Chains A and B, each alone.
Chain A
Amino acid sequence: MAKVKLSGAKIVVEELKDEGVEVAFGIPGGVLLDLYDVIYKQEALRHILMRHEQCAAHAADGYARVSGRTGVCIATSGPGATNLVTGLANANMDSAPVVALTGQVVTSAIGTNAFQEASTFTITMPVTKHNFLVKRTEDLPKVIHNAFYIASTGRKGVVLIDLPKDVLSDVAEVDLHPKETFAGYKPNIKPNKVQTKKTAEVLANAERPLILAGGGIISSDASEELRSLAELLGAGVVTTLMGKGAIPENHPLCLGMAGMHGHLYANRAINECDALLALGTRFSDRLTAWQLDQFAPDATLIHVDIDAAEINKNMPVDIPIVGDVKLALYDILKWLEKKQKLGGKSVWLQRIKEMHSACEECIHDLRRAGSSLSDMFIKELSIILDDDAIVTTEVGQCQMFAAHYYMTKKPRTFITSGGLGTMGFGFPAAIGAKVAAPDKKVVDIAGDGSFLMTCQDLATCVESDIPVVVCILDNRYLGMVRQWQELFFDKKYSHTGLGLTPDFVKLAEAFGCYGERVEKPEDLEGALNNAFESGKPAVIDMIVGKDDKILPMIPPGGGIIGMIGTERCKHV
């Protein structure tokens, strides 16, 4: 391709378009004036002006998780970049593909403590998959191409590009759209055939096979293969928080989410199985809990992950497989299809059936004795919203109520901050989700504490016409910490009370959003209809009890079969 003479800012926009970027979430600033001058009044790249850089990163993250494409966020130098950091760490921890562009002071001023200077390159190094500080305009094409390649392949993650002011304003002669990549980056996606064959044999011979589906199933779009394998084998399926939606949660083989706040029987199944196929999960401490001897003690453990560094990191395994989970499932299915007979699991299937129905009963029975307003509101929401609706969550009790009681039917419809646990994530992630899927309903299941951390972006929703609905489980407490204080710290509620402000309905109205308060779960449907019909971004303030607890749970130090608060569960 012939060389072209362009300013750095124009090169950036040309390369973004070449990478298929249609939208970026950002906030301009002094050193980004050249870039924003190019973004001005053009159609190809939509820019959504956010009201805080953290939200720009979360929105790009939410966009990526819903669309499966790389999300893009933009922030200026110094405080713009430091504000971005939480959002980058969040996306990277949950392996969401995001490319962040940050402005930087002119190259000659780097290191002088210039106005709005921060060492973004070093600050973001530990929270990104990779980052670049570009020193020459002519390097931009290769850097941008590689940023997208690295973010969206292998174990997906965040790549940041720090762009000094002069790199954007200088003109250089470049070849656009290079294909050259780094010698040291070759993601290992093809699983080893010997290992997949061995896996197929273990699974075929197992009496009590179980599949643990993680976020990797969703990011590699392997839900179909997962379902085929589970049905072919007669294996139960449990998911991680990130894997929620990998299989419809009402599927008869699905036992729901496992782990610290998981379903009782998802955890029991992990304890009872004799072969555990873990797919695209990193065995986080919130999944395995602390007594590892209770975690699949009788099982042959097979771990498939695209990141070799995850194998044997948190959990010693019997059969490691490094590679793309979709390809691994394809191979395992192929081997299994050659087998004559896969029967002999009727006892286990019966057990899965009874565990599944015990679990469903708890989730569906709206007025089950001991139900709290919080879980009833989420159950209502689960019934009201259609299967395609996208739910994002904040972090804390609201998140676990959502994980436990909201029944997810499709991949990429349950978006939550799994690894970092970032309060304030759900609402801006919902903005990104709605931009990725404008025809779908998008609801943020929030807590009052979390929502207050990023609610200023209601202004973004109104100004850019992004009608998401925030449903707040409003207990005027930092609920999850309060729950721990109640259960494990003698009810000393140290600094978890939030007082009575603000009035969320008025807050919504002040921003030009629709607001409504509901006190009874049965009134939620009407309020939601009002919200959707208003066509505006909306806040629904659901008043719940401060003593509502998300149970059962594994107490600190416990193991996967050591759940407390199981009185309300149906026991089978």
Chain B
Amino acid sequence: MQTRIISLLVEDHPGVLTRMSGMFTMRGINITSLTVSPCETDGLSRMTVAIKGTESELEKVRKQIGNLIEVVKVVDLRADGAIIRDLCLLKVHTKDSDTRLEVMLLAESYGAKIMDATLDSVIIELTEEPGKIDRFVDLMQHFGVKQLFRTGLTAIGRD
């Protein structure tokens, strides 16, 4: 099993997202992450889809995506040739001032921002590549993560 990131330019029509997710369901593929946003061209949207599967499953699904009428362009983004980012917001439990300080120091060392703090919790924002976010979240579990939100990843090819 491996994860593949596919970047798509799609027509900005109602139903495109349903069509896309329906196609994954139909072909038995699990989506790890899917984001949709406007792009540089009017009338088109960019979708970034991360899917997990074997090489041959992923190849099949890439072709099925290409068959969708509203998909204008399909780009396969290899991890080494792309800049990949995910945004994470998490609320970490801080039982006392020592913990709060420790959490804030660790957050700083990861390049995360403190968005809010109360006496018993801190809200942190971290925008990073997904693996680094995973490690940061694991670390914060040690203190107690009350809430976790991730946007799903977006990616851009280097060339």
- Chain A, residue nearest B23 (CB): A126
Q: Which of B67-75, B87-95, B115-123 lies at the interface with chain A?
A: B67-75
CA distance A561 to B155 in the complex (A): 50
Q: Are A150 and B69 in contact (CB under 8 A)?
A: yes
Determine whether the beta carbon of B19 is less than 8 Å from that of A125.
yes
In chain B, residues 32-81, which have Cβ atoms closer than 8 Å to a Cβ of chain A?
56, 59-60, 63-64, 66-73
- The reply to whether A183 and B72 form a contact with Cβ atoms under 8 Å apart is yes
Contacts of B72 in A (CB 8 A): 183-184
A311 to B10, CA, bound (A): 24
Contact A312 to B59, CB < 8 A, known contacts A184-B10, A184-B11: yes
Evaluate contact between A126 and B22: CB separation under 8 angstroms: yes
Tell me if B14 and A182 are in contact (CB < 8 A): no
Q: Tell me whether B1 is interfacial, beta carbon within 8 Å.
A: no
Q: Which residue of B lies closest to A159 (CB)?
A: B69
B 97-150 contacts with A by CB, 8 A: none
Does A488 touch B at the CB level, under 8 Å? no
A184-B71 in contact (CB<8A): yes
When C-beta atoms are compared, the residue in chain B nearest to A127 turns out to be B26
A489 within 8 A of B: no
- Check if A121 is an interface residue, CB within 8 A of chain B: yes
Q: Contacts A125-B18, A126-B26, A184-B11: A309 and B60 contacting too (C-beta < 8 A)?
A: yes
Q: Would you call B70 and A122 a contact (CB within 8 A)?
A: no
Nearest-CB residue, chain A, relative to B19 = A125
* Distance in angstroms between the alpha carbons of A309 and B74 in the assembled complex: 14
B155 vs chain A, min Cβ distance (A): 20
User: Is there contact, CB below 8 Å, between A307 and B67?
Assistant: yes
A35 to B56, CA, bound (A): 47
For A184, the chain B residues whose CB sits under 8 A away are: 10-11, 68-73
Residues of A within 8 A of B15 (CB): 121-122, 125, 133
A145-182: contact bitstring with B at CB < 8 Å (1 yes, 0 no)?
Answer: 00000100000000000000000000000000000001
Please, what's the 1-or-0 string for B1-32, where 1 marks a CB less than 8 Å from any CB in chain A?
A: 00000000011001100110010001000000
> In the complex, which residues of chain A have a beta carbon less than 8 angstroms from the beta carbon of B71?
184
Tally chain B residues at the interface, Cβ within 8 Å. 21
A124 to chain B, nearest CB (A): 11
Name the residue in B19, B64, B67 with the highest tally of chain A Cβ atoms < 10 Å from its Cβ. B67
Give min CB distance, A53 to chain B, whole Å. Answer: 22
Q: Which residues of A contact B59 (CB under 8 A)?
A: 312
B67, A309: Cβ atoms under 8 Å?
A: yes
Least distance between A92 CB and chain B CB atoms (Å)? 12
Within 8 Å by CB of A130, from B18, B69, B73, lies B69
Please tell me if A313 contacts chain B, counting CB pairs below 8 Å. yes
Q: Is the Cβ of B19 less than 8 Å from the Cβ of A182?
A: no
**Does residue A505 face the partner (Cβ distance < 8 Å to B)?**
no
- Contact A313–B60 (Cβ < 8 Å): yes
The distance in angstroms between the C-alpha atoms of A308 and B66, with both chains bound, is: 9
- Check A182 against B11 for contact (C-beta < 8 Å): yes
Alpha-carbon distance between A309 and B69 when the two chains are bound, in angstroms? 14
Q: Which of A122, A130, A308 contacts B63 (CB 8 A)?
A: A308
Contact of A185 among B10, B19, B60, B69 (CB under 8 A): B69
* Per-position binary interface string of chain A over residues 93-135, scored 1 when its CB falls under 8 Å from any chain B CB and 0 otherwise: 0000000000000000000000000000110011001100101
Chain B residues whose C-beta falls within 8 Å of the C-beta of A183 in the assembled complex: 11, 72
Question: Given the complex of chains A and B, what is the CA–CA distance between A182 and B19 in angstroms?
Answer: 16
| Bound Cα distance from A275 to B73, whole angstroms | 36
Complex alpha-carbon distance, A182 and B70, angstroms: 7
- Take A133-B15, A184-B11 as given contacts and tell me if A309 and B66 are in contact as well, using a CB distance cutoff of 8 Å: yes
Closest to B8 in A: A184
Question: How far is A182 from B69 in the complex, measured between Cα atoms in Å?
Answer: 7
Minimal Cβ-Cβ distance residue in B for A183 = B72
Task: Collect the chain B residues with CB atoms within 8 Å of residue A182's CB.
Answer: 11, 69-70
Contact in complex: B63, A309 (CB < 8 Å): yes
Shortest distance from the beta carbon of B29 to any chain A beta carbon, whole Å: 13
Q: Of all chain A residues, which has the CB nearest B71?
A: A184
Report the minimal beta-carbon distance from B88 to chain A, rounded to whole angstroms: 32
Minimum CB distance partner of A150 in chain B: B69
Cα separation A130 to B73 with both chains bound (whole Å):
17
Most central of A133, A150, A184, A309 by chain B CB within 10 Å: A184
CA distance A183 to B44 in the complex (A): 11
B56 to A133, Cβ gap below 8 A? no
Residue of B whose beta carbon sits closest to that of A185 = B69
CA–CA, A311 to B66, complex, Å? 13
Inter-chain CA distance A312–B64, complex, in Å, is 12
**In the bound complex, what is the Cα–Cα distance between A122 and B20 (angstroms)?**
12
Binary interface encoding of chain A residues 302-325 relative to chain B, with 1 for a CB under 8 A from any of its CBs, else 0: 000001110111000000000000
Chain B residues lying within 8 Å of A129, measured Cβ to Cβ, are 69
What is the CB-to-nearest-CB distance from B23 to chain A, in angstroms, rounded to a whole number? Answer: 8
Contacts of A312 in B (CB 8 A): 56, 59-60
Q: Which 5 A-B pairs have the closest CB atoms?
A: A309-B63, A184-B72, A130-B69, A185-B69, A183-B72
**Beyond known contacts A125-B15, A135-B14, A182-B69: 18 more, CB 8 A cutoff:** A125-B19, A125-B22, A126-B22, A129-B69, A130-B69, A150-B69, A183-B11, A184-B71, A185-B69, A307-B67, A308-B63, A309-B63, A309-B64, A309-B66, A309-B67, A311-B63, A312-B56, A313-B60
Please list the residues of chain A having a beta carbon within 8 angstroms of any beta carbon in chain B.
121-122, 125-126, 129-130, 133, 135, 150, 182-185, 307-309, 311-313
Q: Can you give 10 A-B contacts (C-beta < 8 A)?
A: A122-B18, A125-B15, A125-B22, A126-B26, A135-B14, A184-B10, A184-B71, A308-B63, A309-B66, A309-B67
